[in-house]
């Protein structure tokens, strides 16, 4: 019984801590002062890395021309990881969460979605894209309060439901990455993309 009371308390305490970090970051750097370097930060678990490289990157960066931020490639060495995560989320127009059972069980992925959720709440803008790698029943999601509440309120994309129609799936991701009516309708072109 003590565990059933103590575990949710710890979860709320950790969540409050990361909300506080995001709040401090937001106040310190200022929303308008933070330049956008990427179209999207991709939050994923290492177990899903092969899919990110073999399926996602060739389409989103290769064919569609978006500039994505990936932790192993774009995080600054030597900088605290929480600061790298925060810079990546606030330095990107959107955050794409590649959700699997491994993702839900990862402490770092949990921190990334908490930061992205805070930004979503704070800016009241469509900055979060949920992309499910596998079908996860509602009873399993109920263990992850933040994810369950996001799924109840937001439309998400499902890779398993794409089946043979992956072209439609990637078109939906492209539409989700666009921000209608702003100067960021087109992909951000960084100097890294122009090298080749």
Query: What is the distance between the alpha carbons of residues 52 and 154, in angstroms, rounded to a whole number?
Result: 22
The pLDDT score that the predictor gives to residue 19 is: 61
Query: What is the distance between the alpha carbons of residues 61 and 67, in angstroms, rounded to a whole number?
Result: 6
Residue 196 — very low, low, confident or very high, per pLDDT cuts 50/70/90? very low
Give the pLDDT mean for 136-149: 71
Give the pLDDT mean for 56-81: 94
The pLDDT score that the predictor gives to residue 102 is: 93
- Residue 189 clears pLDDT 50, i.e. is over it: no
**CATH of segment(s) 2-180:** 3.40.50.10140
- Residue 32 clears pLDDT 60, i.e. is over it: no
Helix (H) or strand (E) holding 29: helix 2-29
The pLDDT score that the predictor gives to residue 110 is: 84
Query: What is the distance between the alpha carbons of residues 169 and 145, in angstroms, rounded to a whole number?
Result: 27
- Residue 127 clears pLDDT 50, i.e. is over it: yes
Residue found under tokens 């059933």: 4
The pLDDT score that the predictor gives to residue 14 is: 61
Highest mean pLDDT among 47-56, 118-127, 180-189: 47-56
| Cβ pair 131, 99 in contact under 8 A | yes
- Residue 34 clears pLDDT 80, i.e. is over it: no
Domain ranges of the chain: 2-180
Average pLDDT value for the chain: 78
């Amino acid at each position: 019984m003590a565990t059933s009371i103590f575990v949710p308390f710890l979860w709320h305490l950790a969540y409050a801590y990361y909300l506080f970090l995001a709040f401090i970051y937001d106040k310190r750097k200022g929303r308008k002062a933070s330049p956008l370097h990427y179209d999207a930060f991709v939050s994923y678990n290492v177990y899903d890395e092969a899919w990110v490289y073999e399926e996602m990157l060739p389409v989103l960066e290769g064919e569609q021309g978006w500039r994505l931020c990936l932790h192993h490639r774009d995080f600054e060495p030597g900088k605290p990881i929480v600061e790298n995560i925060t810079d990546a989320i606030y330095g990107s127009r959107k955050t794409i969460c590649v959700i699997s059972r491994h993702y839900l069980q990862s402490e770092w992925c949990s921190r990334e979605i908490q930061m992205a959720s805070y930004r979503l709440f704070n800016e009241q803008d469509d900055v979060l894209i949920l992309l499910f790698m596998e079908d996860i029943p509602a009873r399993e999601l109920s263990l992850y309060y933040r994810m369950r509440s996001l799924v109840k309120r937001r439309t998400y994309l499902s890779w398993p439901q794409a089946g043979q129609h992956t072209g439609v799936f990637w078109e939906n991701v492209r539409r989700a990455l666009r921000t209608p009516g702003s100067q960021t309708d087109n992909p951000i072109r960084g100097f890294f993309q122009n090298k080749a």
